[in-house]
A and B are shown apart, each in its own frame.
Chain A
Amino acid sequence: MKNHPDVMKALAEARPAQLDPPRTPPFPFPLPDRTVTGRRHRRFRAAALIPAGALAAAAVTAVAVVAIDPGGPAPTPHGPGASVEAAQPLAASQILLTAAERSTEDAPRSGRYLVVRRESGSVITVGSGTATYEMTAKSSQETWLSRSGEEPTWVTFQKLGLTPLTPADAAAWRAAGSPEQVMIGKPLPTGELGPGSAVSTSAGPRESSSWGADLYALGDTSVSVRDLENLPTDPPALRTALLEHFHGGGGDLPTDRDQWLLAVASSLITDIPVSGPVRAAAFRLIATMPGVRSLGVVTDQRGREGQGFAFTSVNAASGPIERRFVIDLATGRALGEESRVLRPSGTTAKLKPGSLLGYSVVLEQRTTDETPPK
């Protein structure tokens, strides 16, 4: 396929002038002492790992709200008076070890393709006129992962549009004239919104493309399907194998080794499809990590009930985020996960504790010999 042999040249020539900064501004901040920064980081971690009373209370309250309103697509942020005691939830270790046992029985099946269908959403503060309200940008992904790695993997993606998060947001959207386009601005460190650009609220077409490169990564390292299938099923060995990819973390991953391990091990439960025995090892590994807490019975964003566990993900920009996982203990598989504001600060300063930031639900995961739809 060389109809446009110079497509890279054409692309280079099409480089927009907007990429060049008007000028190089003076250095934007006083250089902090690196050793002090490092120390602050470690202290941060310690705070995250000690389940302070406030964190535990927030978790219990969130569970109670979900239990009261299981049908709601998104539990509304709760006030301080909304707390109701949840009845004897399973301990985190009970949830994780039961999930591990079920996962061990989830034997690898035959089939050329591993099909994973999921929906994810992220909550965005949007504006129209002077009004601002929350909308969820949803999308669906269907992945046909070639298990041999020899056939292309197919990914079908569809933007499902933006929908108001709560009835109050729906009322605000209608009051603004039910605009088809809303403004999305950058969240500033103060929690205010910066100047926005117009984005359509309607759904997009289904788009399929084949994928020759590795789709998944452990930490920042791309891994092949074969690498994933060869991950150890023994928890200490899995720990060692995952930590081989730890090179200081950073970016969207924690720089603390244990926090990094927790983030990457939990990705094997939801994001990255691995065999049942590997998932079992991931559950057992997570069960040994500090800071993991039980949520008891919770529902995912599709209203499906499961057992929940959570940990705190420390993020300097957005304040601490609670990452919550909903597990179907009948199969040991994840139904979904979500992120919620724990203590509003930085970019989440204007949100209430417990506000939903994003979610992902697994709608289907199976192996097949069928041919991928294109």
Chain B
Amino acid sequence: MADPESAQEFTALYADNHPRVYAYAVARAGQPLADEVVAETFLVAWRRFAQMPSGAALPWLLGVARNVIRERYRDEGRQRAVAAEMLAWAADTPDVADGVAERSAVLTALARLSENDREVLTLIAWDGLSPRAAARVVNCSTPAFLVRLHRARTRLERAVAAAEEPAITKEPSR
């Protein structure tokens, strides 16, 4: 028996943001868990709807999703599964198109990074957030986020270089 006005508003919020919360859930918890994470995120979001900051719905929702994932699926098993899934995405790439080697190297490199690094990188590159919005999701200041991003990016560059090495001997690109 929710009050009709809030319910309508919330249903619209759900329709607008479902794809992006889902994408975040896949990247952070793996595809098999994504639907469950999304459902739980919106349930928690509904309970705390009154506290949603106006004009920043998405970072707030992703912050809720982040907490849901940390609460329910923070264990080793999940992290192994997510890394394994990322490697599968890399292997899944059809090896005909241009840029395939690079795409595969990037995904392989990403899978090798820490969960924290993966998070800051994908919030920007895949979820399309600004550093300020991404900082809200991980609950730190924007400067602190930029430092994390810089370091994660450096590690990704290194990991990509390492991942590309075997590929280069087989099929040199550039």
Binary contact readout B28-44 vs A (1 if CB under 8 angstroms, 0 otherwise): 00111111101110111
A194 at the interface (CB under 8 A from B): yes
Binary contact readout A9-34 vs B (1 if CB under 8 angstroms, 0 otherwise): 01111111011110011011101111
B36 & A186 in contact (Cβ 8 Å cutoff): yes
A251 & B67 in contact (Cβ 8 Å cutoff): yes
A221 at the interface (CB under 8 A from B): yes
B47 at the interface (CB under 8 A from A): yes
Interface residue SS majority, chain B: helix
Question: Taking the nearest CB of chain B, how far is it from the CB of A18, in angstroms?
Answer: 6
State which residues 150-166 of B face A: CB under 8 Å. Answer: 150-151, 153-158, 160-161
User: Which chain B residues border A330 with CB–CB below 8 Å?
Assistant: none
User: Which chain B residues border A214 with CB–CB below 8 Å?
Assistant: 140, 144
B64 & A250 in contact (Cβ 8 Å cutoff): yes
A213 at the interface (CB under 8 A from B): yes
A31 & B99 in contact (Cβ 8 Å cutoff): no
Interface residue SS majority, chain A: mixed
> In whole angstroms, how far apart are the Cα atoms of A252 and B73 in the complex?
10
A32 & B125 in contact (Cβ 8 Å cutoff): no
State which residues 208-222 of A face B: CB under 8 Å. Answer: 209-214, 217, 220-222
Q: Which residue of A lies closest to B36 (CB)?
A: A186
Question: Taking the nearest CB of chain B, how far is it from the CB of A16, in angstroms?
Answer: 4
> In whole angstroms, how far apart are the Cα atoms of A110 and B16 in the complex?
54
User: Which of B48, B68, B80, B148 meets A212, CB within 8 Å?
Assistant: B148
Q: Which residue of B lies closest to A10 (CB)?
A: B106
A371 at the interface (CB under 8 A from B): no
User: Which of A4, A27, A251 meets B68, CB within 8 Å?
Assistant: A251
B130 at the interface (CB under 8 A from A): no
Task: Please judge, given known A-B contacts A27-B14, A195-B32, A250-B67, whether A3 and B47 are in contact too, CB under 8 Å.
Answer: no
Question: Taking the nearest CB of chain A, how far is it from the CB of B137, in angstroms?
Answer: 11
User: Which chain A residues border B27 with CB–CB below 8 Å?
Assistant: 19
Question: Taking the nearest CB of chain B, how far is it from the CB of A25, in angstroms?
Answer: 8
User: Which chain B residues border A11 with CB–CB below 8 Å?
Assistant: 106, 110, 121-122, 125-126, 156
User: Which chain A residues border B103 with CB–CB below 8 Å?
Assistant: 10, 13-14
> In whole angstroms, how far apart are the Cα atoms of A33 and B14 in the complex?
17
> In whole angstroms, how far apart are the Cα atoms of A253 and B40 in the complex?
15
Q: Which residue of B lies closest to A200 (CB)?
A: B80
User: Which of A12, A38, A186, A198 meets B126, CB within 8 Å?
Assistant: A12
A251 & B39 in contact (Cβ 8 Å cutoff): no
Task: Please judge, given known A-B contacts A16-B89, A209-B155, whether A252 and B74 are in contact too, CB under 8 Å.
Answer: yes
User: Which of A20, A186, A222 meets B139, CB within 8 Å?
Assistant: A222
B85 & A197 in contact (Cβ 8 Å cutoff): yes
B22 & A29 in contact (Cβ 8 Å cutoff): no
State which residues 118-136 of B face A: CB under 8 Å. Answer: 121-122, 124-126
State which residues 245-265 of A face B: CB under 8 Å. Answer: 248, 250-253
User: Which chain A residues border B14 with CB–CB below 8 Å?
Assistant: 24, 27
> In whole angstroms, how far apart are the Cα atoms of A18 and B27 in the complex?
9
A139 at the interface (CB under 8 A from B): yes
Q: Which residue of A lies closest to B27 (CB)?
A: A19
A33 & B2 in contact (Cβ 8 Å cutoff): yes
A317 at the interface (CB under 8 A from B): yes
Binary contact readout B20-64 vs A (1 if CB under 8 angstroms, 0 otherwise): 001100110011111110111011101111110000000000001
User: Which chain B residues border A14 with CB–CB below 8 Å?
Assistant: 102-103, 106-107, 110
User: Which of B50, B66, B153 meets A8, CB within 8 Å?
Assistant: B153
> In whole angstroms, how far apart are the Cα atoms of A10 and B108 in the complex?
12
B76 at the interface (CB under 8 A from A): yes
A252 & B71 in contact (Cβ 8 Å cutoff): yes
User: Which chain A residues border B122 with CB–CB below 8 Å?
Assistant: 11
Q: Which residue of A lies closest to B7 (CB)?
A: A31
Task: Please judge, given known A-B contacts A31-B2, A252-B74, whether A1 and B154 are in contact too, CB under 8 Å.
Answer: yes
- 3 A-B pairs with the lowest CB-CB distances in the bound complex, closest first: A251-B67, A252-B71, A122-B75
